[in-house]
Amino acid sequence: MTDQTYKPTVLVVDDEPQILASIHALLEDDFDVVVSTDAMEAVELLKNTQIAVILADQRMPNLTGGEFLSKARELCDATRILITGYVDIDALIRAVNDGQIHSYVPKPWEPANLKVTVLKAATYAKEISQRKKAAEIVAEQQEALARSEAAYREQTKILRSVLDSMGDGVLVTDDSGKMVLLNPAVEQMLGRSAAGTHQSEWAERYGIYVPGTDTLYPNDKLPLARAMRGETADGIELYVRNQHKPDGMLVSVNVRPLKDDSGETKGGVAVVRDITLAKYSEDILRQAKEEAERANRAKSEFLSRMSHELRTPLNSILGFAQLLALADLAAQHQSNVQQILKGGYHLLELINEVLDLARVEAGRLSLSPEPVLISDAVKEALDLVRPIASAQNIMLSADFFAYADRYVHADRQRLKQVLLNLLSNAIKFNRSNGMVVLRCEQVLNGRLRIEIADTGSGIDDEGLKKIFTPFERLAADRNAIGGTGLGLALSKRMVEAMGGTIGVESTVGVGSRFYFELSLVEQAVEPRMDRDFHSGLMALGQAASYQGTILYIEDNISNIRLIEQILARYPGVRLLEAMRGKLGLELANTHRPDWILLDLHLPDMGGEEVLRTLRQDQRTQEIPVSVLSADATPSQANRLKAAGAREYLTKPLDVRQIIALLEKTLQRERPENQPGASGPSFPEQHGHQPDAALRWAPETVTLTGLPAELLQQLRSAVRDGEKDRLDELIATVANQDPQSGRALKNLADRYEYDTLSNLLSEVAQ
């Protein structure tokens, strides 16, 4: 409603209706006029009507005007006007004094005068009402303010108790760097008086250092200083050492800038966490982990060394026995040689299995899972066991053709190993004229079950319980049949490592059924390059037609002799020998051999380094290198292949494999060159008679210059295995010829007495 239409209400009370009518007529243009002839009735009306001005006659029958207005004053804020004659002057004075009226109109009243008085009174009433409203608003606002102050006090109290109870320190600075809030946790770190220090002195004052040093933290780089520049940072580590923390503490600090509503940085907040203990436990844990890793490395090292130490002598045993077996021996001797081979291979199997098991146990069995063609793996394994089966009159039957072109997810080598273990057990523990049946079958979850059943004596329940435990050979078989008791334990671990399962069912007197399951996969793979090494073997009698130069870098004389003997069958092949890496590199550069056989353990430098040098040198980088090592760990093999070795052959050397590689690598002579004992290119050098000068590298190991007596003493010290005496003599050699001294010391330190003895006897010749 606007001011033009709004009309204040005037209540006129008089017992004379004519007067009421005339006042109504006088005021109705400007006011809503309400009239009443009865003061008591008018009192009631005031209770529920908004009245701006009350006009009351003094003389009325029930209540006087003064009395009525006095009541009206209690009921509303209307401006009160008394209409009174001269005779009522006393009542008027009383009414004015008592504050009952704001104004009065004398009788007889002038209409204009009355109207002006009422208008003024209405304005006054309006002002009063506005003032009252304003006062109400102010009161409301004050109340709201009081309420929000109370809420704020409550919030502050909660916040304070949170900050007080927090283990993390909290500190807040304003934009001048003054600390405006520190909780008790911070006070415990920095002291109660911490608030008073200027930012440029924080590090000195509170003892804040760069962790792990005695250097004070640069003040401008302190996290809180950065927050005051608007930066946010988390996990900043500081070291605090001061009178409150004399033992020092490591803290991690998170900071945020403190911003006002306009986004301007007005200070910084830091939350400081004591991480001393956490860091300490982390350190302990790390140390324990490092210790465990060191121990694990030591174990691997031990495995590798053991593998080397055991395989090196085995290499000679098996290599020479293989050569002997190829010779034309009397039946008795042939059978002796076969015994040596059998024992040797058994030992080799044992070493391999112990190493494998140790690797599995150490979690280091390295697998290269790939899709493996079932027929490949099964056929290869069957081919290998067929001779043993027929020797024992066991019929081998296989039904895998429905799955022949399917693939399983497996490590090719390990899958073959498992198949061989199970097949050879089924043959070994069979009865004579028995049967072994291999079957394939797809089972649930896209898996293939390969089952090998035999007609052997079966395994009882006790036996079945422990059959997959290492070294567990069931009593009945212990003496009769060869074995290590490791095959099944290893097979189980390998199958499981390939994500499969293995099991057995057996009936005593009927036979056993071993099975394992692997996932079938769809993907086809390229055939492997090295698969045909063995299949391409030439008959040894045809060996003569190959020609070329082979460099053999090896410091073990037995191994050298073995290769020499193999090559004795290849008159067209020249063998260069080097017992040290450096000499090997020189020979490779000058003679550019067709094939390099490289041992890894050399006295002067590692074979791996030799390999890398060969690969880096333009003159030698194309020459195929086959690494020979007693270390059968797959990681080492992979590393050397990655470094450029064409093959990684593990000792003991497989004579047939060496021959296959030789024939793969070297060229065959043209027919016109074939007759004759030696190849035309090196008529003066017989392939298997290595040049001693080349072998001993006289330009560096010039033992010929040494006094005969010293040489003699060296020989006897070597013969008697007197290490201390040998060391003394080598020290004397080193005085006269440091290079030879070093070479001898290298050999002596590795207890290569064989080599030393050969070296010393060659000088004597």
When the beta carbons of 256 and 431 are compared against ligand ADP, the nearer one is 431
Q: Is the peptide bond before 652 cis (omega within 30 degrees of 0)?
A: yes
When the beta carbons of 226 and 473 are compared against ligand ADP, the nearer one is 473
- Angle at which helix 39-48 crosses helix 65-75, to 10 degrees, equals 10
Selected binder of ligand ADP within 64, 79, 315, 484 (CB under 6 A): 484
We find the least distance from the C-beta atom of residue 420 to ligand ADP, in angstroms, to be 10
Selected binder of ligand ADP within 425, 559, 629, 650 (CB under 6 A): 425
Asked whether position 483 contacts ligand ADP by CB under 6 A, the answer is yes
We find the least distance from the C-beta atom of residue 709 to ligand ADP, in angstroms, to be 56
Task: Give the H or E element holding residue 293.
Answer: helix 276-326
Asked whether position 488 contacts ligand ADP by CB under 6 A, the answer is yes
Q: Is the peptide bond before 108 cis (omega within 30 degrees of 0)?
A: yes
Which of 98-106, 117-125, 473-481, 599-607 is the region at the interface with ligand ADP (rule: CB under 6 A)?
473-481
Helix residue spans in 540-654 (DSSP H): 557-567, 581-591, 607-616, 634-642
We find the least distance from the C-beta atom of residue 502 to ligand ADP, in angstroms, to be 12
We find the least distance from the C-beta atom of residue 360 to ligand ADP, in angstroms, to be 14
Asked whether position 352 contacts ligand ADP by CB under 6 A, the answer is no
Selected binder of ligand ADP within 92, 486, 666, 756 (CB under 6 A): 486
Asked whether position 485 contacts ligand ADP by CB under 6 A, the answer is yes
The site string for ligand ADP over 11-50 (x = CB under 6 A, - otherwise) reads ----------------------------------------
Residue 15's nearest CA partner among 34, 36, 33 is 36
Asked whether position 512 contacts ligand ADP by CB under 6 A, the answer is yes
Selected binder of ligand ADP within 121, 179, 418, 426 (CB under 6 A): 426
We find the least distance from the C-beta atom of residue 469 to ligand ADP, in angstroms, to be 9
When the beta carbons of 102 and 473 are compared against ligand ADP, the nearer one is 473
Selected binder of ligand ADP within 429, 552, 595, 648 (CB under 6 A): 429
The two structure tokens encoding residue 244: 């409150």
Q: Which DSSP letter does residue 675 get? A: S
| Cβ contacts of 9 within 8 Å, gap of 6 or more | 31, 32, 33, 34, 49, 50, 51, 52, 53
Which of 113-121, 271-279, 482-490, 554-562 is the region at the interface with ligand ADP (rule: CB under 6 A)?
482-490
Which of 143-151, 419-427, 654-662, 712-720 is the region at the interface with ligand ADP (rule: CB under 6 A)?
419-427
When the beta carbons of 219 and 421 are compared against ligand ADP, the nearer one is 421
When the beta carbons of 184 and 485 are compared against ligand ADP, the nearer one is 485
Are 757 and 711 in contact, with CB atoms under 8 Å apart? Answer: no
**C-alpha separations of 698 from 404, 584, 585 in Å:** 59, 13, 15
- Angle at which helix 607-616 crosses helix 634-642, to 10 degrees, equals 20
Are 687 and 662 in contact, with CB atoms under 8 Å apart? Answer: no
When the beta carbons of 369 and 483 are compared against ligand ADP, the nearer one is 483
Rounded to whole angstroms, the Cα distance separating 570 from 662 reads 10
Asked whether position 417 contacts ligand ADP by CB under 6 A, the answer is no
Which of 250-258, 418-426, 534-542, 636-644 is the region at the interface with ligand ADP (rule: CB under 6 A)?
418-426
Asked whether position 451 contacts ligand ADP by CB under 6 A, the answer is no
Asked whether position 434 contacts ligand ADP by CB under 6 A, the answer is no
Per the listing, tokens 């949170």 go with 162
Selected binder of ligand ADP within 195, 474, 538, 605 (CB under 6 A): 474
Which of 40-48, 103-111, 184-192, 452-460 is the region at the interface with ligand ADP (rule: CB under 6 A)?
452-460
Q: Which amino acid is at 733?
A: V
Asked whether position 503 contacts ligand ADP by CB under 6 A, the answer is no
Rounded to whole angstroms, the Cα distance separating 86 from 90 reads 9
Selected binder of ligand ADP within 456, 571, 607, 679 (CB under 6 A): 456
Selected binder of ligand ADP within 421, 556, 650, 678 (CB under 6 A): 421
We find the least distance from the C-beta atom of residue 472 to ligand ADP, in angstroms, to be 6
We find the least distance from the C-beta atom of residue 474 to ligand ADP, in angstroms, to be 3
Asked whether position 696 contacts ligand ADP by CB under 6 A, the answer is no
Asked whether position 477 contacts ligand ADP by CB under 6 A, the answer is yes
When the beta carbons of 451 and 669 are compared against ligand ADP, the nearer one is 451
We find the least distance from the C-beta atom of residue 389 to ligand ADP, in angstroms, to be 13
| Backbone φ, ψ for residue 669 (5° rounding) | -65, 150
Residue 522's nearest CA partner among 366, 626, 628, 405 is 405
We find the least distance from the C-beta atom of residue 592 to ligand ADP, in angstroms, to be 47
Task: Give the H or E element holding residue 154.
Answer: helix 111-165
When the beta carbons of 514 and 552 are compared against ligand ADP, the nearer one is 514
When the beta carbons of 50 and 397 are compared against ligand ADP, the nearer one is 397
Long-range contacts of 331-335 (CB under 8 A, 24+ apart): none
When the beta carbons of 451 and 454 are compared against ligand ADP, the nearer one is 454
Rounded to whole angstroms, the Cα distance separating 524 from 661 reads 28
Count CA atoms within 13 Å of residue 515 on its CB side: 15
Residues touching ligand ADP: how many (CB under 6 A)? 20
Selected binder of ligand ADP within 459, 553, 596, 666 (CB under 6 A): 459
We find the least distance from the C-beta atom of residue 403 to ligand ADP, in angstroms, to be 22
When the beta carbons of 506 and 545 are compared against ligand ADP, the nearer one is 506
Which of 239-247, 466-474, 575-583, 593-601 is the region at the interface with ligand ADP (rule: CB under 6 A)?
466-474
Q: How many residues does the chain have?
A: 765
Are 90 and 98 in contact, with CB atoms under 8 Å apart? Answer: no
Asked whether position 493 contacts ligand ADP by CB under 6 A, the answer is no
The DSSP bridge partners found for residue 598 are 553, 627
Rounded to whole angstroms, the Cα distance separating 637 from 645 reads 9
Are 763 and 704 in contact, with CB atoms under 8 Å apart? Answer: yes
Q: What's the burial of 738, exposed, middle or buried (CB within 10 Å: 0-12/13-18/19+)?
A: exposed
Selected binder of ligand ADP within 411, 454, 631, 752 (CB under 6 A): 454
Asked whether position 487 contacts ligand ADP by CB under 6 A, the answer is yes
Which of 38-46, 479-487, 589-597, 641-649 is the region at the interface with ligand ADP (rule: CB under 6 A)?
479-487
Are 10 and 33 in contact, with CB atoms under 8 Å apart? Answer: yes
We find the least distance from the C-beta atom of residue 396 to ligand ADP, in angstroms, to be 14
Alpha-carbon Rg for the chain, nearest whole angstrom, is 55
Rounded to whole angstroms, the Cα distance separating 758 from 764 reads 10
We find the least distance from the C-beta atom of residue 377 to ligand ADP, in angstroms, to be 18
When the beta carbons of 195 and 396 are compared against ligand ADP, the nearer one is 396
Between strands 595-599 and 625-629, the pairing is: parallel
**C-alpha separations of 521 from 448, 462, 696 in Å:** 10, 36, 55
When the beta carbons of 485 and 499 are compared against ligand ADP, the nearer one is 485
Are 740 and 730 in contact, with CB atoms under 8 Å apart? Answer: no
Rounded to whole angstroms, the Cα distance separating 348 from 312 reads 11
Asked whether position 356 contacts ligand ADP by CB under 6 A, the answer is no
Rounded to whole angstroms, the Cα distance separating 363 from 496 reads 12
First to last CA, the chain: 137
Residue 601's nearest CA partner among 575, 621, 630, 639 is 630
Q: What's the burial of 358, exposed, middle or buried (CB within 10 Å: 0-12/13-18/19+)?
A: middle
Asked whether position 473 contacts ligand ADP by CB under 6 A, the answer is yes
- Rule CB under 6 A: which residues touch ligand ADP? 421, 425-426, 429, 454, 456, 459, 467, 472-474, 477, 483-489, 512
